[in-house]
Amino acid sequence: MELLKLLYEYFPMAVNTGKCLVFISEDWRVELTEHKNSNFSDSSKNSPIIRVRIFKKALSGEYIPGHFEDFQLDTVSQLAEQIEKYVQSAVGQNIREDV
């Protein structure tokens, strides 16, 4: 959860639910969750994984899960930058302002 707290500082428009960071717009929901690397044989990466899940709002008003991507980068600034690029590409909006 420590990494999510650092990302929360980078994305002030997010809502911290205690379990994840959430960005919501009229058409999209984006969730960032922190996971520990469960592959103990891979000692090269000890940093947590941030999973970014994208949901699209259906005509019924419910958010339908779309795709997700896992991020594991060395620095928080690199991580936040790549997450921002990914979400912008997926939803076509800037998550720091619009989503």
pLDDT tens, position by position, 10-55: 998 899 999 999 999 889 999 999 998 666 565 555 678 999 999 9
* Residue the block writes with tokens 């990302």: 7
Which pLDDT value is given to residue 85? 94
Which pLDDT value is given to residue 40? 58
Which pLDDT value is given to residue 97? 60
Q: What percent of the chain has pLDDT over 70?
A: 85
Tell me: pLDDT of 96 over 80.
no
Do residues 50 and 3 touch, judged by C-beta distance below 8 A? yes
Q: What global pTM score does this model have?
A: 0.83
